[in-house]
Chains A and B, each alone.
Chain A
Amino acid sequence: MKLSNNQEGSVLITALIMIAVLLILFLSAFSYGIARYGVHVKNHHATQAMYLAESGINRFVHLLNTYDRDLKSTMKDSVHSEIEGVGKYFVSARPYGGYLLLRSEGISGSQKKVRYALLGALQRSLTDNALTVLDSRFPIVATGRTRINGDIYSAHIQLTTGQIDGKGIIDKIFHSGRRVIVDSISSPYKQFTVINDYIHYVYQNLEPNAHKVSTSMQITTDDSYFDDKTVLSIHGNLELNDFSIRRNVDPLTIIVSGFVEIKGKSNIQGLVEIISEKFIRISDSSVYSGGILFAEDSILIKDNSYFSAQAITQHVLNITDLCEIAYPSLLLADNNSLSDRGDYSIRISTSIPVNANILYISSDTLRQRDNEVLKIDSNATVIGVVYSSDYIDLHGNVDGSVIANNFKFEIPPTTYINWLKDVRINRYALDYTPILPITYHDSANYRVILTRSFNE
């Protein structure tokens, strides 16, 4: 009975528990404060890592533009630097379609940031003009409602007006700006081997380590097939239907021996490169942004699709049916192959303005190729640079710069060389400096087209 009345011990325990609770409260508050401090330190390192990654890209471009003009050796060696008490950066480069892809890692403390940059070349001497005509044999003749706003560089001394089908000049003053006669204007893409280097890079460095599939594939929305892959080689065709993917940090390369169909509102964004030995077709309001499409045969973009990437082919490239082509797209036909196929062309027939640089390159001048052409339809408007090392069949509008060996305007059986009919070229409407695919010229001035940052 006496024992049960003795409650002094329980008070002691209660007090000790209370003290322990207070101690825990105190420690948790203290650790919360330390955690907050840690978050701020982490944020600081993340900021510094981002600046370091950007510094790496700046230094790489600076090296290319100053001492080290040997692009290939610079790409092999990479660039890295360690800044005492701050962190370090590491930059590597690889061919990426017509451009270079720089990958810069900035590391500060425990934080690592990856920054990608697409590097092109500035060809200011050509792209500052509204019109540059390389062929010195024929004069430039303007007819119909032709209007050129900006400077004209021409190898031929004569710039005149004429008539086709009896239709004369509506506006006699068809040209505003300087007119410069240059004896010989050299084409920047006479020795254009960048695309070949890109394909060699893919097949030599990426393909041997590819995950190989020996059948055709159809991939739809819920398929996470690509999640753990960076290089995939498919022996067959590839159909992507209502399929979505976004690759930011690790590029995804898909090499297909057959054709590729991207349809059913597929949405492909980021560093996704698709290389087909046949054709690639994008349709059904699909989106393709940030990557590369390379097809040996042809690329067709149609049915309200959205495209903001590089489309490179060795034969036919068609943009049609209200497709939207957004900056900084590159549409390139590199007719460098030894194929005997007859038709080589780029054709732009969408009525939505095409925001892209369009290049038609034909380095093989030994053969007659009557069918090869870069054609811009009368309902089309291109915002950017239109370049052809051969001729252009120009009917639409260009807000930017047109560079061509010459122009052809055909009303069978007559072919008018260097005649421009109902054409509008307005250099002043392009409010940015166009950056073109790289060349290995000594005079190349490299510039960053766009950058993207990611956490890793």
Chain B
Amino acid sequence: MNSEILKNEQGFTIVEVLVGAFIFMLGFSVLIFMLSQLMVNYSVDEISTANRIAQNNLEMVIVSHDTISQNLVVIQSNVKYSVMKRVTVSDNLAKVNVEVKRHSKEKILCRLYYEFAIPAE
């Protein structure tokens, strides 16, 4: 019986190949789908978080009229973000740039700009 099977040197039929390819495609597609979702979600969440951090920092500047430039590190969901707050003052008009990026990475995820007059008193 075994020798009969071993002697069978016919290849896979077209049906078997297609079913195999189909199963492979199914698995591969699911894998790619999950991977792409993970990447997109990660990227979107990252930008969304960076936007929120930039907005919070800018609102603090607006409320306090703070004109000190500084760098901060903010940790959100165990991820470190670098916040760079740059304020330039010219003729009592402050120009604020808040940039947020992943800590130790170069790519800027979010940048917000705002101008306000420094109160005289």
A contact set with B: CB distance below 8 Å: 8, 11-12, 15, 18-19, 22-23, 25-26, 29-30, 33-34, 36-37, 40-41, 43-44, 47-48, 51-52, 54-55, 58-59, 61-62, 65-67, 83, 85-87
Interface centre among A8, A30, A44, A83, by most chain B C-beta atoms within 10 angstroms, is A44
Whole-angstrom distance from the CB of A12 to the nearest CB of chain B?
Answer: 6
| Contact A15 B22, beta carbon cutoff 8 Å | yes
Stretch with Cβ within 8 A of A (4 or more), from B2-10, B12-20, B76-84:
B12-20
The A-B contact count (CB < 8 A) is 90
Q: Is the interface of A mostly helix, strand, loop or mixed?
A: helix
A sample of 18 more A-B contacts (CB under 8 A), given A52-B113, A59-B115, A65-B117, is A8-B15, A15-B22, A19-B21, A22-B25, A25-B29, A25-B33, A26-B32, A26-B33, A29-B33, A30-B33, A33-B36, A43-B51, A47-B51, A47-B112, A51-B114, A55-B116, A62-B93, A66-B91
With the chains together, A275 CA to B109 CA distance in Å?
50
| Contact B14 A58, beta carbon cutoff 8 Å | no
* Residues in chain A near residue B113, CB distance under 8 A: 48, 51-52, 55, 83, 86-87
* Residues in chain B near residue A33, CB distance under 8 A: 36-37, 39-41, 44
Identify the closest chain B residue to A89 (Cβ).
B115
Identify the closest chain A residue to B16 (Cβ).
A11
Whole-angstrom distance from the CB of A41 to the nearest CB of chain B?
Answer: 7
With the chains together, A12 CA to B58 CA distance in Å?
60
Is B86 located at the chain interface by the 8 A CB criterion?
no
Q: Which of B91-121 contact A (CB under 8 A)?
A: 91-93, 110-117
Whole-angstrom distance from the CB of A9 to the nearest CB of chain B?
Answer: 9
Say which residue of B22, B26, B32, B40 sits within 8 Å of A36 (CB atoms).
Answer: B40
Is B67 located at the chain interface by the 8 A CB criterion?
no
A-B contact pairs, 21 of them (CB 8 A): A11-B18, A15-B18, A22-B25, A23-B29, A25-B29, A26-B32, A26-B33, A29-B36, A29-B37, A30-B33, A33-B36, A36-B41, A36-B44, A37-B44, A47-B112, A48-B112, A58-B115, A59-B117, A62-B117, A67-B91, A87-B113
Q: Mark B57-93, 1 if CB is under 8 A from A, else 0.
A: 0100000000000000000000000000000000111
With the chains together, A318 CA to B32 CA distance in Å?
73
Identify the closest chain B residue to A23 (Cβ).
B29
With the chains together, A33 CA to B47 CA distance in Å?
14
Say which residue of B37, B43, B48, B117 sits within 8 Å of A61 (CB atoms).
Answer: B117
* Residues in chain B near residue A12, CB distance under 8 A: 14, 18
* Residues in chain A near residue B41, CB distance under 8 A: 33, 36
- Taking residues whose C-beta sits less than 8 angstroms from the other chain, chain B's interface range is 35 or more
Identify the closest chain B residue to A56 (Cβ).
B115
Whole-angstrom distance from the CB of B106 to the nearest CB of chain A?
Answer: 15
Whole-angstrom distance from the CB of A24 to the nearest CB of chain B?
Answer: 10
* Residues in chain B near residue A25, CB distance under 8 A: 29, 33
| Contact B111 A85, beta carbon cutoff 8 Å | yes
| Contact B40 A34, beta carbon cutoff 8 Å | yes
With the chains together, A107 CA to B25 CA distance in Å?
45
* Residues in chain A near residue B18, CB distance under 8 A: 11-12, 15
* Residues in chain B near residue A62, CB distance under 8 A: 92-93, 117
With the chains together, A169 CA to B18 CA distance in Å?
107
Identify the closest chain B residue to A87 (Cβ).
B113
The 3 closest A-B pairs by CB, nearest first: A33-B40, A55-B115, A62-B117
| Contact B114 A55, beta carbon cutoff 8 Å | yes
| Contact A59 B93, beta carbon cutoff 8 Å | yes
| Contact B33 A44, beta carbon cutoff 8 Å | no
Indicate whether A11 sits within 8 Å of B115 (C-beta atoms), given known contacts A19-B25, A40-B44, A59-B93.
Answer: no
Whole-angstrom distance from the CB of B112 to the nearest CB of chain A?
Answer: 6
* Residues in chain A near residue B92, CB distance under 8 A: 62, 66
* Residues in chain B near residue A61, CB distance under 8 A: 117
| Contact A11 B36, beta carbon cutoff 8 Å | no
Identify the closest chain A residue to B114 (Cβ).
A51
* Residues in chain B near residue A59, CB distance under 8 A: 93, 115, 117
* Residues in chain B near residue A47, CB distance under 8 A: 51, 55, 112
* Residues in chain A near residue B91, CB distance under 8 A: 66-67
With the chains together, A209 CA to B29 CA distance in Å?
62
With the chains together, A29 CA to B34 CA distance in Å?
9
Interface centre among A34, A41, A47, A87, by most chain B C-beta atoms within 10 angstroms, is A47
With the chains together, A11 CA to B58 CA distance in Å?
62
* Residues in chain A near residue B15, CB distance under 8 A: 8, 11
With the chains together, A85 CA to B113 CA distance in Å?
10
| Contact A40 B47, beta carbon cutoff 8 Å | yes
Whole-angstrom distance from the CB of A427 to the nearest CB of chain B?
Answer: 20
Say which residue of B14, B22, B44, B93 sits within 8 Å of A18 (CB atoms).
Answer: B22
